[in-house]
Structure 1
Amino acid sequence: MSTGPLAGVRVIELQGIGPGPFCGMMLSDMGAEVIRVDRSARVRDHDADNPPIDVLARGRASIGLDLKNPDGVEALLRLVEHSDALIEGFRPGVMERLGIGPDECLARNPRLVYGRMTGWGQEGPYHLGAGHDINYIALAGALDPIGRKGEPPIAPLNLVGDFGGGGMLLAFGVACALFESQRSGQGQVVDAAMVDGAATLMAMFHSMRALGVWNDERGTNMLDTGSHFYDVYECADGNYISIGSIEPQFYAELLRLTGLEADPEFAKQNSRSGWPELKERIAAVFKSKTRDEWCEIMDATDVCFAPVLTLAEAPQHPHNVHRDVFCEVAGVVQPSPSPRFSRTVQTVQGPPAHPGQHTDEVLAIAGYDTDDIAKLRDTGAVA
């Protein structure tokens, strides 16, 4: 049994890609019993001792259902009766056409939290159109500011739209709605749109712009590589370090450890007109030593410094090792669950499941006996 803060909560996850599974992983990591509904066409013979290599799918059971089969739809609705939440990431209208939209599910279980995640939202001029992370953050105003001066915007992987503004926003929304349903006894629909979430992530920058301390020209501000004291710099060995010496006391430490404390030009920290030249000069200083040499100089100081690590290097860093930031599940190194709790300690509940691996066990939760399950297989409703 899980000991995480969501232990005892059962969530149905309609299988999807990227941000949907990320939300399911977040909820499972916090202790929820998450049941992934896979399309029956994905179910294949499998070796349970060799789980898939899919970190986002960790920690939940899988049932294979044909949701175009009426008996498969009924199986899902019966499972809804025994669950606390459902999460899905289809385009608007798909779940309704399948007969498993909010109306049908809440009719079976009025306390159900029905979590929906899309790129554009459930309504609006764009809501039926296709899109990806880069499009959602572009419309939200989150893409344009990311990049260097005189260069095009840079896509920050798909972290801002899919995962931060999408999957994590949905997990937060579901947790909030579950908390409210305990008080009201009623469920509700959570409409998590990636464009909404990406816009929410930009709240501080709207404040800065309103205050007149943020320029619309990218690469000219303190936090977007415009300043010399908040950027990444190449070292002599071709590796990189990160510097974030914003506050005066941290900036003073940066100048001391780079040998620039006596230079009067560097004393003008916040004079934007001097930033380009100072950036070139401090870049030359950092290029004079290797990354390891700068780590020896700046580790555990108040410079606001860290080496820029690769995906392979990060799990090996002493700080990450000490805090168990990463773990290994079924031979795959991956991030450990976060955040951490002092009493309801969370953990990865298990490796990823093969599609349909737990079909019989999940159907038993919905009240199906052995004969019922055999009939469902005969009709092709389950795999």
Structure 2
Amino acid sequence: MSDGSVRTGRLAGIRVVSLAGTLPGPVAARRLTREGADVVRVEGPGGDILRAVAPALVDDLTRDQETLQLNLKDAAGQDRLAELLDGAHVLLTSSRPAALARLGLTPESVAQRWPRLAWVAIVGATGDRAEEAGHDLTYQAEAGLLASGTELPRVLLADLSCAERVVTEVVLSLREVELHGTGGYAEVGLIESARDLGEPLRHGLTGPGGVLGGGSPSYNIYPARSGRVALAALEPHFWTRTQELLDVEGTHEALAEAFLERDAQEWEAWGAEHDVPVVAVR
């Protein structure tokens, strides 16, 4: 840490150098920081482009991390990066392999100089598609996660799920070093992350008419007297209790009529009181 204090946590003593900007890499790095890892964030001379549009988010993501701005295209910047990697356990990147290769960072060169370093690379897609350009929107579109096909997603699902995979891959790579003494190179793909999120949809669970897609009255959104409520009474005991307390038959129509009797916030308080999973839609 830049203030010289000693970190504690399950990853205390692990030093991470992150070249991964925008969102997936910083979200993963924050998770590692919160688990006790010492993270050094390396930005280009112009800083992270995310700071221009969401500075408060960047501040939150990089809290308790050291941030350096290096020009990795010149010798001095590359030498400083090498010094950082000399003492690191993990390297995070999110640039395309060809761009990293121009900086002298290839799986072969890194393994030769830093054999115990665990390099986790965020790419658009693993393998032959690693050079393809894209962002969360294109990955969600390809994975079929855009509900209407016309509205932009409110949650960056590919980015955030990829970040979780990165944390998992870091822990697995550190375990590999512990067991076998060598680090290695692992890719985490954004499109693969998005596709796995779409698995329930592909199996009909969340699509139109599916059990979690509006087909079941026990798992649905209903208008209230003001606002809307989300009901998720899937388990039999929750579903039976909901019908008994509302004194209704378990149909969409009956529930829709019942929920019009109170405001959404009132229903949320009612649900908490009676142990029924219903909340106001924010």
Partner of 1:220: 209
Residues 323-343 of structure 1 show CA distances to partners (whole Å, capped at 9, x for unaligned) of xxxxxxxxxxxxxxxxxxxxx
The answer to which structure has the higher helix fraction is 2
The offset of 1:14, in angstroms, is 0.7
Name the % identity: 28
Alignment match, 1:197: 193
Distance 2:7 2:281 in 1: 35
| Distance in 2 separating the partners of 1:57 and 1:215 | 37
For residues 41 and 202 of structure 1, the distance between their equivalents in structure 2, rounded to whole angstroms, comes to 36
Q: Deviations over 1:63-117 (max 9, x none)?
A: 1211010121121112111100000111231111111233332222100010100
Match of 2:279 in 1: 306
2:235 match: 247
Partners of 2:9 and 2:205 in 1: how far apart?
43
Which whole-Å CA distance do the structure 1 matches of 2:264 and 2:44 have between them? 48
2:52 corresponds to:
none
Once superposed, what is the RMSD of the aligned Cα atoms?
A: 2.4
Following TM superposition, by how much is the alpha carbon of 1:196 offset from its aligned partner in structure 2, in angstroms? Answer: 1.3
SS at match of 1:59: coil
State the one-letter code of the partner of 2:157. V
Give the TM-score normalised by structure 1: 0.65
Aligned length: 269
Q: Which amino acid aligns with 1:160?
A: L
Which one-letter code corresponds to 1:70 in the other structure? A
User: How far does the alpha carbon of each residue in 1:92-144 deviate from its partner, in whole angstroms, 9 at most, with x for none?
Assistant: 311111112333322221000101002222423xx433222132133334x16
The amino acid that maps onto 1:157 is: R
Shift of 1:281: 3.7
Q: How does 1:1-383 map to 2 (within 5 A)?
A: 1-42=6-47, 53=56, 54=58, 55-124=60-129, 127-141=130-144, 143=145, 147=147, 152=149, 156-164=153-161, 166-203=162-199, 209=203, 214=204, 218-238=207-227, 240-260=228-248, 263=249, 266=250, 278-309=251-282
Post-superposition, which runs of at least 4 consecutive aligned residues in structure 1 deviate over 6 A? none
Contact 1:257–1:298 (CA under 8 A) maintained in structure 2: no
How much has 1:248 moved relative to structure 2?
A: 1.7
Structure number with greater Rg is 1
Change (3 A) 1:300 1:91: farther
State the one-letter code of the partner of 1:163: L
Shift of 1:237: 2.2
Tell me the SS of whatever aligns to 1:86. Answer: strand
Change (3 A) 1:122 1:137: same
* Contact preservation (8 Å) 2:124, 2:132: no
SS in 2 for 1:224: helix
Separation in 1, partners of 2:274, 2:124:
42
Q: 2-side partners of 1:255 and 1:154: how far apart?
A: 35
Q: How big is the shift at 1:215?
A: 6.9
Conserved in 1, the CA contact under 8 Å of 2:208 and 2:214? yes
Q: Which has the higher contact order (CA 8 A, sep 6+)?
A: 1
Aligned residue type for 2:279: A
Residue 34 of structure 2 aligns to which amino acid in structure 1?
D
- Which consecutive residues of structure 1, in runs of 5 or more, have no partner in the other structure? 44-51, 267-277, 310-383
Letter in 1 for 2:18: E
Which residue identity is paired with 1:27? L
Q: Which amino acid aligns with 2:140?
A: I
Letter in 1 for 2:243: L
